[in-house]
Amino acid sequence: MADTIARANALEGRFLNDEGITLVRAEPSTRLSLRAPKTAVKSLSKALGLDLPQRPKASTAKDGRVALWLGPDEWLVIDETEADLVGVCASVTAFHSAVEVSHRNTAVLVSGPRCETVLNAGCPQDLSLVAFPVGACSRTVFGKAEIVLWRTGSDAFRVECWRSFSDYVFMLLEQAARDR
């Protein structure tokens, strides 16, 4: 019988580096599910230190923090420096909803020249640079799981998924990466 119980994070130690594709678990980040009407966007942007994007599929990134447009009044804010995002929004008096979802999501960083093909194994969207340029983001599906996809470079994506789906998402990515 084990004397100690060690806590393992989702996707801990998972890694794949095949020809033209690398899959790696993203470092822990704080995340915020933010919903707000147009009237609150200005004060929330000021508090977060970045402009909340208003166009579909748009994102704004600054100093390790990014706001991804999910819907007309909905954003996913990710902070890689693990800043207290809820605390930041608490100072805003304008009507809004900020829900801490740091531990709900986990992320896989997909990079390499084959990343579009590998993601298209499960994602039905057009991921060419014309339709999905660097900085574009979207909530979409990957196989049977819902993901938030963010293009961080011409050959790099961040795949945000719910922690309970992360094993499935990673396995499907691995299979797609090996399928040539």
Partner 1 sequence: MLLIHCPYCQEDRPELEFRHAGEAHIARPENMAEMSDEDFERFFFIRSNPKGIVYERWRHIHGCARFFNAARDTVSDKFLMTYKAGEPKPDLDGEGK
Task: Name the site residues for partner 1 (rule: CB under 8 A).
Answer: 56-57, 70-72, 74, 124-125, 138-141, 146
Give min distance, CB of 149 to partner 1, in A: 11
Rounded CA-CA distance 79/67 in Å is: 9
Our CB check for partner 1 shows the closer of 13 and 124 to be 124
Nearest-approach distance from CB 2 to partner 1, in angstroms = 40
Q: Among residues 25 and 151, whose Cβ is nearest to partner 1?
A: 151
The three-class DSSP label of residue 51 is: coil
CB of 59 to partner 1, least distance (A): 14
Contact call for residues 9 and 28 (beta carbons, < 8 A): yes
Whether the CB-CB separation of 107 and 129 falls below 8 Å is answered with: no
> CB–CB of 70/54 below 8 Å?
no
Cβ 131 vs Cβ 141: under 8 Å:
no
| Residue 91 Cβ vs partner 1, minimum distance, rounded to whole Å | 27
- Please report the sign of the dihedral spanned by the C-alpha atoms of residue 102, residue 106, residue 110, residue 111: positive
Can you name the residues that pair with 75 across neighbouring β-strands? 34, 69
Rank residues 102 and 140 by Cβ distance to partner 1 and give the closer one.
140
C-beta of 30 vs 138, nearer to partner 1: 138
Nearest approach in angstroms of CB 164 to partner 1 is 16
Nearer CB in complex with partner 1: 9/54: 54
